[in-house]
């Protein structure tokens, strides 16, 4: 079922759990390739991308046990028993598949993969990955549809300065460096909590890393790593979605496992919009006002406002009092969901990287389509306050990054049902 029927039912209230971060767990699953043995990941979200990454690891020769809720046991063979290529459709299904490149090259000396797919919200080149790995001694043989890389012996340590603090490139290069020969430095590294969490997993496996949580990572390569246990960090974007459901409906919702220290700038914007943030109990609680206030927002690399928050923020501001300006500084093409909000009655105009939002008193339900994970989730939020019935198609995207979003919203009091 890929369409959700949403009707307004007043303020949402209650407690909800976000579970582990999609942008952490997929990289941590790939990191298991670095060491023989049984790896144990906990707080794993039940999402489609975890299933796809599990299938990819199985195709590479691993065994993945998903029999326990929100846990994974990944059994990894020796380096000589790992397959270094897998069926193209597994790579094409998600962007995060690129992160097997670093682990395979540094451990097995070769990798072959189709170009990664995933959400379509603008051009996202992979040259940050390939340039960094080339500097470490990898040789690439790419064409328009695939990547093939080899290295003679161990990758060599080097000093890498990223042109942009790419989250996924930092992850990939960090994993490559932990088994490289010598001392590596990654400058202008991404500082996201998910990158830091990957580093903590690697340290638990025996890696030597300094500077986690900063823009300068220093890695001393080791000859071998071992399997380890790790708890995946909470998903801050999923947490933000449930907090947004409280704000937009004037409700009172607490995300019991949310990390306030990972959402500082977002919580400031929530308060600027009139929300009341409560950090006294577990996680983060937010009470929404009778009507939100306008607020200007610009996306920036962490610790700034994440680009993944923007569809949620734009949706909230579409019913806020006043005029807001939202600026996208990271990806072109991430205003594609705006046309769908306009179909619901929002007053939004876009020009280049900017969207001007004139808040309206209410939205009106109709059929809309979510083109990516966050856009579809944002349209569901819009449906919570749109008069009449909103039908959101594209919910297969939401399943890639949210652990039962409809069920958890329903538990908070929302009227959400699958289209028959």
Q: Going by DSSP bridges, is the β-strand pair 284-287/276-278 parallel, antiparallel, or unpaired?
A: antiparallel
Q: What would the DSSP string read from start to end of 178-193?
A: TTSBSEEEEET----H
- Return the number of other C-beta atoms located less than 10 Å from residue 200's C-beta: 20
**DSSP letter (8 states) at residue 234:** B
Q: Going by DSSP bridges, is the β-strand pair 347-351/297-298 parallel, antiparallel, or unpaired?
A: unpaired
Which residue is catalytic, options 49, 119, 171, 257? 119
Residue 18, classed as helix, strand or coil, is coil
At a CB cut-off of 8 Å and minimum separation 6, what does 303 contact? Answer: 191, 264, 265
Three-state SS for 91-104 is HHCCHHHHHHHHHH
Q: How many angstroms separate the CA atoms of 323 and 141, rounded? A: 50
In the residue annotation, 131 being an active-site residue is answered as no
Long-range contacts of 385-389 (CB under 8 A, 24+ apart): 385/8, 385/248, 385/249, 385/319, 386/6, 386/8, 386/344, 386/345, 386/362, 387/8, 387/362, 387/363, 388/7, 388/364, 389/5, 389/6, 389/7, 389/365
Q: How many angstroms separate the CA atoms of 218 and 27, rounded? A: 19
Q: What would the DSSP string read from start to end of 145-171?
A: SEEEEE-SSSPBP-EEE-SS--HHHHH
- Return the number of other C-beta atoms located less than 10 Å from residue 244's C-beta: 27
Residue 264, classed as helix, strand or coil, is helix
Q: How far apart are the two ends of the chain, measured CA to CA in Å? A: 8
Residue 127, classed as helix, strand or coil, is helix
The residues facing 63 across adjacent strands are 75
Catalytic residues: 119
């Amino acid at each position: 079922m890929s369409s959700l029927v949403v009707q307004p039912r007043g303020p949402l209230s209650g407690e909800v759990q976000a579970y582990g971060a999609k942008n952490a767990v997929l990289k941590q699953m790939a990191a298991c390739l670095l060491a023989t043995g049984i790896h144990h990941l906990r707080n794993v979200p039940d999402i489609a991308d975890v299933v796809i990454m599990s299938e990819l690891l199985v195709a590479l020769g691993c065994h993945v046990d998903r029999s326990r809720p929100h846990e994974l046991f990944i059994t990894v063979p020796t380096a000589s028993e790992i397959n270094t290529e897998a069926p193209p459709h597994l790579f094409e299904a998600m962007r995060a598949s690129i992160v097997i490149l670093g682990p395979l090259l540094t451990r097995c000396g070769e990798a072959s993969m189709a170009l990664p797919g995933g959400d379509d919200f603008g051009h996202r080149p992979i040259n940050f990955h390939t340039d960094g790995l080339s500097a470490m001694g990898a040789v690439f043989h790419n064409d328009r549809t695939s990547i093939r890389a080899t290295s003679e012996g161990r990758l060599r340590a080097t000093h890498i300065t990223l042109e942009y603090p790419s989250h996924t490139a930092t992850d990939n290069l960090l994993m490559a460096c932990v088994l490289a020969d010598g001392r590596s430095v990654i400058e202008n590294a991404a500082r996201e909590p998910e990158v830091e969490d990957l580093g903590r997993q690697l340290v638990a496996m025996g890696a030597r890393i300094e500077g986690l949580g900063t823009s300068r990572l220093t890695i001393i390569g080791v000859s071998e790593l071992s399997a380890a246990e790790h708890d995946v960090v909470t998903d801050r974007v999923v947490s933000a979605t449930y907090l947004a459901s409280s704000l937009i409906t004037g409700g009172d919702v607490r995300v019991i496992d949310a990390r306030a220290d990972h959402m500082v700038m977002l919580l400031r914007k929530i308060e600027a919009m009139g929300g009341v943030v409560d950090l006294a109990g577990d996680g983060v609680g937010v009470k929404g006002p009778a009507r939100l206030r306008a607020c200007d927002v610009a996306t920036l690399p962490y610790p700034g406002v994440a680009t993944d928050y923007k569809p949620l923020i734009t949706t909230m501001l579409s019913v806020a009092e006043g005029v807001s300006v939202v600026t996208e500084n990271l990806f072109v093409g991430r205003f594609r969901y705006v046309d769908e909000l306009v179909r619901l009655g929002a007053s939004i105009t876009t020009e280049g990287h900017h969207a001007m939002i004139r808040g309206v008193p209410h939205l009106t339900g109709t059929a809309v389509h979510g083109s990516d994970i966050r856009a579809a989730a944002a349209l569901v939020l819009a449906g919570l306050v749109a008069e009449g019935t909103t039908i959101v198609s594209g919910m297969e995207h939401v399943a890639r990054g949210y652990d039962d979003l409809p069920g958890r919203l329903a538990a908070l009091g929302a009227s959400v049902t699958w289209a028959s």
